[in-house]
Amino acid sequence: MSGGQALAAIDREEALARIRLLRSPNVGPVTYAQLLARFGDARRAVEALPEIAGRSGKRYRPAPEQVALDEARAVRRAGARYLFHDAPEYPALLAASEAPPPILIVRGDAAFLAAPCVALVGARNASAAAVRLARMLAGELADAGMTVVSGLARGIDGAAHHGALGAGGATVGVIASGIDVTYPPEHAELQERIALDGLLIAEQPPGTEPLARHFPSRNRIIAGLSSGTLVVEAAPRSGSLITARLAGEMGREVMAIPGSPLDPRSHGCNQLIRDGAILVQRAEDVIELLSGFDGSARSTFREAMPDWGDCEDISEAEPAPLADLLTTAPVPVDELIRQSGASPAAVQLALLELEIAGALVRHAGGRVSRA
């Protein structure tokens, strides 16, 4: 694989600039998208970062170009490639979710994402019966032409991947580490097999260890890729329930396998069903439920971005007076626009400046707060 292939089909300089932009301090998916929408390409966006942060009184250095070059080489060494937000292969369902990752790093065949995808997740310390059931369900779903998505964790995740592969079907593994890092260690062979016979996805740069703060993003990708999420076995307050909650917030189907109230590992699934998740017991239940999901998602990457209107010249645009309106309590951006009396473009510009300067935190549901 050449360096150009690792950087995808877009202009090499633009690809490197996109990597620099996303790896720069305080630039997340929303800020990344807004900067591209405002400046037209990543090269100009990176050049503008110091001036934007400077308007809030902060000195700022974007990620050096060498960081992007080193990362691209590491991606190539790992036999992987980049999947940018505007690539034809970028999954439409994920693009339609809130703040989708602008850049994915993948190994394997991204065409599997074009098939109906179902997430199958559950407890790491799963019971033997639940592991067997997860493996069987995944095999039957894969045999029916569905792509099984999971997170390569111990227990239910691993069983889901094994079941899909064992049936000769498709599976996607989303990991919280770099594409070249195996976690857990005992899944080294499974992770490699998924990369060869399915698709392996990472959001973090190569060499990144699976830290706790990376797993929520991993869970969001799992939910975002899938028409529905099936939880086989989960304790209360587990990561699997977070994935299910994210799926529900995205308007996707949430399903759960009921279990004995005497087993704490079933309490999470039983609570999901009590809260409105669909009770399923067989693969046919899942197939029937998701067959009505038309998958007609469209990318919201640019459509959700503000109309900058007459704020084309950043040197002349005055930020909205937000300092007194923002606190550490999250508030919807629409509310800030109403209370400030400023134009939506001016408010978005002010928020952009504050975020790049490290003074703003973005939350789910289009809410923001002071850092």
Q: Each residue of 233-282: pLDDT tens digit?
A: 998 888 899 999 999 999 999 999 999 888 888 999 999 999 999 999 99
pLDDT over threshold 90, residue 89: yes
Question: With contact defined as beta carbons under 8 Å apart, do 286 and 230 qualify?
Answer: yes
Amino acid letter for position 29: P
> Please, what's the b/e burial string for 319-332 (b: 16 or more CB within 10 A of its CB; e: otherwise)?
bbebeeebeeebbe
CA–CA distance, 252 with 293 (Å, rounded to integer): 9
Query: Residue 314 above 70 pLDDT?
Result: no
Residues comprising the chain, all counted:
371
At residue 295, the pLDDT reads 52
**pTM exceeding the 0.75 threshold for the entire prediction:** yes
Percent of the chain with pLDDT over 70: 89
Share the mean pLDDT of the chain. Answer: 89
Residues 71-81: tens digit of each pLDDT: 999 999 999 99
Cis peptide leading into residue 184 (ω within 30°): yes
Confidence tier at 2 by pLDDT (50, 70, 90): very low
The pLDDT value given to residue 145: 95
- Tell me: the pLDDT tens digits for 203-223? 999 999 999 999 999 999 999
| Residue recorded with tokens 């792509």 | 147
Give the mean pLDDT of 1-29.
79
3-state helix, strand, coil in the chain (%, to 5): 45, 15, 40
- The DSSP code for 366 is T
**Dihedral angle of Cα 34, 36, 42, 44, to the nearest 10 degrees:** -90
- In this predicted structure, what is the pLDDT of residue 250? 93
